[in-house]
Structure 1
Amino acid sequence: MSLKRALVSVSNKEGIVPFVKKLVQEGVEVVSTGGTKRVLEEANVPVTGISEVTGFPEILDGRVKTLHPAIHGGLLAMREKEEHLDQLREHNITPIDLVIVNLYPFKETIAKEGTTFEEAIENIDIGGPGMLRAAAKNHRHVTVVTDPEDYEIVLEEIKETGEVSSKTKQRLAAKVFRHTASYDAMISTYLTKETGELYPESYTVTYEKKQDLRYGENPHQQAAFYKQPLGPESSIANAEQLHGKELSYNNINDADAALSIVKEFNEPAAVAIKHMNPCGVGVGQTIKEAFERAYEADPVSIFGGIIAVNEEVDEDTALQMKEIFLEIIIAPSFSEEAKEILTGKKNLRLLTINLKDTGSEAQRKVTTVHGGALVQEEDVKGFEDAEIKVVTNREPSEEEWKDLKLAWKVVKHVKSNAIVLAKDQKTVGVGAGQMNRVGSAKIALEQAAENAQGSAMGSDAFFPMKDTVEEAGKSGVTAIIQPGGSIRDEESIEKANELGITMVFTGVRHFKH
């Protein structure tokens, strides 16, 4: 058998004892360190201490134990080179054939509330990554395992052939470098954040695979879903699926869009999404009322849509939802009666998300382009952050203010150019993604039809001309909210005054491309 000596040093001790016991049964000598050595000894596994190999004690509270030529020489020697083997014999170094190492729990440490900077630093592993990288570099001769999920396949190959195949060794080596890169990315992110540097000279991010997907946006595209380590709890990546088919690529994108909008509201709210844009948003005294309004906003487009609500789905609301074909319902919780009703629909996905943990700060959003990436702070500015200014002769009424706020919260999440009409605490028209603003306005007004009369219009960016105000006036819009800032603002203001429309400037643009 080619495997004679294994080095074992793990923070995650899941499955390590039975794994190492089976290695010993196959004739492998085991060298180990500190806590791992104690665990193996307590299980009556024969083990050699690292100090017996190096001839040097562990020092500096365990900071230095494996950083020694007796270890790294045994890992990095190329067995096909006679001069390497001569040097090992000259310095009495035994080759190491198998490395089982995982790292100090840095992620788990910084995830704990109240962790100090000093505690975080002490959980940065130095020797572990060094051993892993050395073994992975020399993977033609050394098998390296960092994930307990791989213990079984290694054992199977050793039992069958007495060694680990080249293909498996290469796959495990690649996994090691992904693991250490991710580990370093979390450390660099933590330290960079501590320094307050927002956009450093290199930007490293890491994600952990949550699941493989059947396909991407289209059936011919492969895809997978990854989650951000230590990302905000109130995210689609941390949702718990209670029922229904597996989520698709498009489901996840739409669910994320629905979640982003429903988080804007403190009062009971319901959001319906199709193709990343809201087709209906409603607020009310109860979730049932909010959902009714979201449905009434566009009873055609909601078919096959994704719904997000910000309070528990009760029996009455579930009965209404059941009558419509929906892909997903997202809520903080479902009552037992609601679950019984909705799980009667075999394919309907039910997701629960903790909406109370919205995160204390804006996340960095990464958008890839061919050959690069754009990184920006996410748009978290709300109505309360805007510098509200009524620029027309007439002030909005109390009801108009309610609808203006609703339109403003929703338009922020509609693809630019974006126009949203709101009336009676629900959206009644949405114009998205047009090449000119008046085009989006016409779509929203056409969709609203008679509901445009007395509605409030929200625009994600300023009006470059008065034509949008003119179209709004023709359809009976009575209030408009927009950022302002055009060199021709006065023309829009004059036209609004002429038509009796009240207009509010916010000073905040909400482009979403």
Structure 2
Amino acid sequence: MTDRIPLKRALLSVSDKTGLIEFARALASRGVELLSTGGTAKALREAGLSVIDVAQVTGFPEMMDGRVKTLHPVVHGGLLALRDNAEHMAAATSHGIGMIDLLVVNLYPFEETVAKGADYDDCIENIDIGGPAMIRAASKNHAFVTVVVDVQDYASVLAELDANDDTTRYAFRQRQAQIAYARTAAYDAAVSAWMAQAIGEETPRRRSFSGELAQTLRYGENPHQSAAFYKDGSDRAGVATAKQWQGKELSYNNINDTDAAFELVAEFDPAEGHAVAIIKHANPCGVARGATAVEAYRRAYDCDRTSAFGGIVALNCTLDADTARAITEIFTEVVIAPDATEEAREIFAAKKNLRLLTTGGLPDPAAAGTSFRQVAGGFLVQGRDNGRVSRDDLKVVTKRQPSAEELDDLLFAWTVAKHVKSNAIVYVKDGATVGVGAGQMSRVDSTRIGKRKSEDMAEALGLSEALTNGSAVSSDAFFPFADGIEALAAAGAKAVIQPGGSMRDAEVIEAADRLGLAMVFTGQRHFRH
């Protein structure tokens, strides 16, 4: 095997013409012969470049609307022949097969076609066949062939040629082959995922996921773990699509927590008022509505000021100057919002370590989607939790009916509980959380933790009683025993929302009636593990 291979002949066949002319001109200036197909050849000729049609080389015209043009032994022989194998080279000579040293292909825009909402037939027509076949052939023969599948690699190819007397090194060709195989794998994954959805196959026999590197991270959850951030190509508003205005790079934990914060705050329609969520370690430590963004922030902050320090703040509305000033009163890691005023950005500019992200919109909390989690030897796949309830979905099961105000708080608490690690208990009063218990093995423990936090916050605010007194409370899953209801009553709660469905629902309802609580069932749960 030869380390350095000169480029004498290149085949270019691209859907995305970005940078094509400049790259091809640079190759031609180095004496590289250019082969091409269809629209690519036309673009090169119009730019004044000398190009040979693949049809001229194969002796077959492009046919069947361009479906058949590169699927030919002359093309694949030129890509696959081992230059150091005498039999291969003799066969090439015998059949008039010229070597191809560089393959430049980017695939039909299948993903973009799907994203535009095209119909089934149009999506099928945008599945590339010849491109992946050539890419795989060239990648397999990377000992002799350089393959390029991404526009951003044009510059690196030219830099490689400049540094190595118009040759490419084996290590460079290896890297390009890996990139190419990853591209065809992602392409096939996109096609198979789309087709499964199109035909209603919820559990396909094989499932693949792909992503494009967005950022290499300094480390993962802990310094000894390597990590990177990949984008899945969707247009869902959030961290992956956000613009970062300032601050150092996001860390693994920043990205995870910011996503949790933004998905939570997106549950609250901006048309119904401003909402702010403060997140710490993927759990909310304060969520509130307000007449203004700054009011919502201060009310969220007053749920748990201790935990809010160093947290993530998410808004469902434009970040304004007043809210920006309030946020800068304590150390905050990240702020994410659909938009931010110029004045707000100027205020944040004085806090160099504070990251500000804007997304241009909110993700739809009711949208379908898929989430997956790795386990030993496999991974779990499920639809994203887009469950929601309205007043009409609620079933009052106690003698006391909740008031209109209590119903508002119950629904608010239920929405927040969906985003709290189970076992989850969320106390709410007047559209703001006043106590959160998260991630405990016992629901009673979560109940007590939420109360204790509210007591600590009341003391910090100079109040004489726990903030949970008179609150509405949500549990993400049913109460298996009456002791949970008794603990809520002891915390001062007056109304409860929960899924129901326990074998001891009757005992739980009897306890609520005995303690004077109003309780509603949703028939839906929100485990978040």
2:213 is the alignment partner of 1:209: yes
1:487 to 503, 517, 525: 503
- 1 CA distance for matches of 2:24 and 2:492? 77
Partner of 2:135: 132
2:410 is the alignment partner of 1:409: no
Tell me the CA shift for residue 365 of structure 1: 0.6
Cα distance change, pair 360–417 in 1 and its aligned pair in 2 (3 A): closer
Partner of 1:64: 68
2:317 to 311, 322, 335: 311
- 1 CA distance for matches of 2:194 and 2:212? 17
Q: Percent identity?
A: 52
Cα distance change, pair 440–90 in 1 and its aligned pair in 2 (3 A): same
| Range that drifts further, 16-25 or 250-259 | 16-25
- 2 CA distance for matches of 1:346 and 1:215? 21
Q: Which amino acid aligns with 1:202?
A: R
1:273 to 273, 279, 303: 279
Corresponding residue SS for 1:511? coil
Task: Write out per-residue CA displacement over residues 390-433 of structure 1, whole angstroms, 9 at most, x where no aligned residue.
Answer: 11110011221122111111111111111111112211111111
Partner of 2:246: 243
Tell me the CA shift for residue 231 of structure 1: 4.2
Cα distance change, pair 288–404 in 1 and its aligned pair in 2 (3 A): same
2:59 to 55, 58, 63: 55
2:262 to 250, 259, 264: 259
| Range that drifts further, 406-415 or 359-368 | 359-368
Partner of 1:147: 150
Q: Which runs of 5+ in 2 are unaligned?
A: 456-465
Tell me the CA shift for residue 359 of structure 1: 7.0
2:132 is the alignment partner of 1:122: no
Please, what TM-score do these two structures have when normalized by structure 2?
A: 0.93
2:449 to 435, 443, 446: 443
2:103 is the alignment partner of 1:87: no
Q: Which runs of 5+ in 1 are unaligned?
A: none
- 2 CA distance for matches of 1:359 and 1:483? 20
Map 1:420-459 → 2, pairs under 5 A: 420-449=426-455, 450-459=466-475
Q: Which amino acid aligns with 2:158?
A: L
Contact preservation (8 Å) 1:6, 1:31: yes
Give the root-mean-square deviation of aligned CA atoms: 1.6
Contact preservation (8 Å) 2:215, 2:230: yes
Contact preservation (8 Å) 2:366, 2:388: no
Partner of 2:359: 353
Partner of 2:339: 333
Q: Which amino acid aligns with 2:220?
A: G
Task: Write out per-residue CA displacement over residues 73-126 of structure 1, whole angstroms, 9 at most, x where no aligned residue.
Answer: 11111122211111111111112121111111112222225x232222222111
- 1 CA distance for matches of 2:453 and 2:6? 73
- 2 CA distance for matches of 1:93 and 1:173? 23
Partner of 2:524: 508
Cα distance change, pair 46–196 in 1 and its aligned pair in 2 (3 A): same
Partner of 1:288: 294
- 1 CA distance for matches of 2:413 and 2:17? 53
The count of aligned residue pairs is 511
Tell me the CA shift for residue 476 of structure 1: 1.8
Task: Write out per-residue CA displacement over residues 126-171 of structure 1, whole angstroms, 9 at most, x where no aligned residue.
Answer: 1111111111111111111112322233333334234211111111
- 2 CA distance for matches of 1:88 and 1:337? 68
Tell me the CA shift for residue 257 of structure 1: 0.7
Map 1:297-308 → 2, pairs under 5 A: 297-308=303-314
Contact preservation (8 Å) 2:266, 2:363: no
Please, what TM-score do these two structures have when normalized by structure 1?
A: 0.96
- 1 CA distance for matches of 2:294 and 2:343? 14
- 2 CA distance for matches of 1:16 and 1:358? 38
- 2 CA distance for matches of 1:3 and 1:501? 80
